[in-house]
A and B are shown apart, each in its own frame.
Chain A
Amino acid sequence: MDVKALIVGGIAATLPLTAIPAFAHHSYAEFDTDKKLTLEGTVKEFQWTNPHSWMLVMVPNARGELEQWAVELNSVSLLAARGWKPKTVLPGDRVAITFHPMRNGSHAGSYMAIKLPNGKTMGDAERLGTAAQ
């Protein structure tokens, strides 16, 4: 990368667009909608974006090591209709997030509900057997 490129903006895209899992375009069948998992952790990133928003949460495993979980949320319009804002969740927030886990056990899932640092709960942690709304 040369100085000219940095200054006038002619460089190539060199970084992956996001840190979301490779199944960004995926079948909802990959999520086990009969199950739910609630994990407590620290938000690393909240991507307020279409077609689906994403939240990356760092959660300690059994050995106390932090592992990243990627939770897929709804579209911006749908989240907004349910009272979300781009800054409803901020990096560094301690949250408890409930989601339908992946059938293959990978560290991802489909959002059901979240408990925010201020104690407020968004979503519905009881909705099993259907796609997240």
Chain B
Amino acid sequence: MMPGLAHRLRLTAISGLMLATPFSAAGAAAPAPAAAWPDIGGIYWTNSYNAKIQPDGGGDPPYTQAAMATYRKNMEAVKTFSLDDQARKLCTPDGVPRILASPYPFEIVESPNRGEIHLLYELNHVIRLVTMTKPLPSADELETFPFYSGHSAGHFEGDTLVVETAGFNEKTFLDNSGAPHTDQLRTVERIRKINGGKELEDVVTIHDPGVFTKDWSARFVYQARPDIRITDYACGEKHRDLSSVKGVQGH
């Protein structure tokens, strides 16, 4: 089937923008030889939490006027518990970047022989598969088979794992305050160890011409926690003690 006009326009817009952004044409970076993968695996856990995503430079994400009106409406709905938030009501995946703000730990597992990296989140046991040897699926495939967590392709730049993700459905929010997005969302994460390996940094760049006037970034930092393991997570049951995570209410 021929793509519709809107679809073609969207592809044109994305292609044009890619020239000036970190977003690749098709995630087509050459895979690094397996033996050369830097060791970025391990268990990580944040020690601070914000319900609202914090763009670099402060303020709100650069929403268009119409999208900002939706965001304000969503923020009000959060206060009255009336937001249609399937991730919290049905325990579906948070999507990106919301999952990056989770106050629960996550684990990075590198499988160089299979050309894959898995990001395993304790929250809702979300699994993100990052394929290191193949580019992102075609634009047509991304549109036809959208996932909550999108489709991810990655490569290493030095010691930094670069993960590009696209093909999101529209059932998620960008954060816990109801920040909206469309299926035009694409993210690029630059993930690396910092502070001598004691911490992990994930700087995510967010591209969504459906709601934003420009691309923007947010930074998340986690502590390396080889002393813990990812545990069971049953939605609705009591879980891990989060009292060490600053910003989590109710502890």
CB within 8 Å of B: which residues of A? Answer: 1-15, 17, 76, 80, 83, 85-87
Contact = CB atoms under 8 A, between A and B. Distances in A.
- Secondary structure dominating the interface of A: loop
B123 A9 contact: yes
A86 B81 contact: no
Contacts of B78: 6
Given A4-B250, A9-B87, A86 B242 contact: no
The 9 A-B pairs of least Cβ separation, nearest first, read A4-B250, A12-B236, A83-B1, A80-B144, A15-B89, A4-B249, A3-B249, A13-B90, A8-B103
B131 interface: no
Interface string B186-204: 0000000000000000000
Interface residues of B, number: 34
A18 to B, nearest CB: 10
A86 B248 contact: no
Contact of A4 (B87, B235, B248): B248
A21 B143 CA distance: 28
Nearest to A13: B90
Contact of B242 (A1, A8, A14): A8
A10 B239 contact: yes
Interface in B1-32: 1, 7
Nearest to A3: B249
A10 B232 CA distance: 13
